[in-house]
Structure 1
Amino acid sequence: MNETMVCVVGNVATQPVCRESSTGSSARFRLAVTSRYWDREKSEWADGHTNFFTVWSRRALAANVASSVTLGDPVVVQGRLKVRTEQREGQSWVSADVDAIAIGHDLSRGTSAFRRTPRGETGVPAPSRPEPSWETPPPGGPLDPVPELRAEAVGVT
């Protein structure tokens, strides 16, 4: 079929949340993707706009995400882009989700140690934190993340 496949590189903006259901494991986290550009006036690199995606993973990938990915990690995500438009309380907003096929650490920004999981192992660790709100608010809306947290999550000091 005609699906929009994307490859996004960014920082994990929320701690991954993993759930076990009758259909298998699923995990999700928010990914912050900030563009960089050369500022000619200042003669230095500058941050551009930050896009946030909700990354979804299923089955073995979900279990491995829960064991390997943490808040602030630089990652590369490949998957199907799903854009949703919703209306709530008279406001219209758009969210972008990525149904992940592959997720890995961005090795241009650090090192990682790969450990192969034994076949058939699908153990999912119990969530250690309360589940965050996954609603994508309109910019400046009442659910807009705290700017300090957003800057910290994407590595801006």
Structure 2
Amino acid sequence: MSDHITLVGNVVGDPEERATRGGDPIAAFRLAVSERRFDRERGQWIDGHTNYYAVSVFGELGRNALESLHKGERVIVAGRPRLREWETDAKRGVSADVTADAIGHDLRWGVSTFRRSAKAGATGAAHPDEPAARETPNGAEAWNVPGDTPADPRASADGIPDAAGERGATPLVEVAADATPF
């Protein structure tokens, strides 16, 4: 069992592309996490100590991070921490590393747009925990939604059951074929 940590901070520099020994891409960047609190006596915000983390991102998440993250952006990183001891001729120390399992922009500070990454020849799920994609009548890829699968006998012709599970229900919300329903 490994530890998990969630960090909210700023990307220190644009992510760098590195590679594993097998040639798979890795995104690597530093994350600055600062404590900030409101001092009631002074009536102003005070910046506390800043911790720096070396973040490594592997696989498809790493490819997406290389394309999506930029210096100065506020992000949320969830992953597994590791303290690594290092030594040079002049000094020695400990560095805090994180292997990221998930990354996203902190929407408190701005707006982000999601775009599904294209995988050549992929017709199923991009991740084992993710629901499989299915083809819509117009050929576009859609995500499976609970109660909206062809195997669901309660589904109406338009894919949306009414409260009693009867066919031919009128949808409460109309969703465009290319929209991601979540």
Gaps of 5+ in 2: 122-182
**Secondary structure in 2 matching 1:50:** strand
Q: Which moved more, 1:110-119 or 1:88-97?
A: 88-97
**Deviation (angstroms), 1:24:** 1.3
**Deviation (angstroms), 1:115:** 0.2
Q: Which moved more, 1:57-66 or 1:20-29?
A: 20-29
Separation (CA, whole Å) in 2 of partners of 1:87 and 1:14: 24
**Deviation (angstroms), 1:73:** 0.6
Partner of 1:60: 60
Separation (CA, whole Å) in 2 of partners of 1:4 and 1:28: 20
Q: Which moved more, 1:80-89 or 1:62-71?
A: 80-89
Q: 1:12 to 1:120 in 2, by over 3 A?
A: same
Partner of 1:99: 99
**Deviation (angstroms), 1:23:** 4.3
CA RMSD of aligned residues (A): 1.5
**Secondary structure in 2 matching 1:14:** coil
The normalised TM-score by structure 2 is 0.62
Pairing 1:64-75 to 2, within 5 Å after superposition:
64-75=64-75
Identity %: 42
| Structure 2 residue 79 is the aligned partner of structure 1 residue 79 | yes
> Structure with the greater relative contact order (CA < 8 A, sep ≥ 6): 1 or 2?
1
2:15 is aligned with what amino acid?
Answer: P
The normalised TM-score by structure 1 is 0.71
**Deviation (angstroms), 1:118:** 1.8
| Structure 2 residue 27 is the aligned partner of structure 1 residue 27 | yes
- Which structure is higher in helix share? 1
Pairing 1:1-157 to 2, within 5 Å after superposition:
1=1, 3-21=2-20, 22-120=22-120
Q: Which moved more, 1:18-27 or 1:74-83?
A: 18-27
Separation (CA, whole Å) in 2 of partners of 1:61 and 1:81: 17
Runs of 4+ aligned structure 1 residues displaced above 6 Å come to none
Deviations 1:20-67 (A, max 9, x none): 453411010000101011223312211100110011000101100111
Q: 1:120 to 1:58 in 2, by over 3 A?
A: farther
Higher alpha-carbon Rg: 2
- Which structure is higher in strand share? 1
Partner of 1:149: none
Separation (CA, whole Å) in 2 of partners of 1:116 and 1:29: 22
Separation (CA, whole Å) in 2 of partners of 1:87 and 1:102: 30
Deviations 1:89-108 (A, max 9, x none): 15221100110000110011
Separation (CA, whole Å) in 2 of partners of 1:14 and 1:120: 30
Partner of 1:127: none
Separation (CA, whole Å) in 2 of partners of 1:13 and 1:41: 31
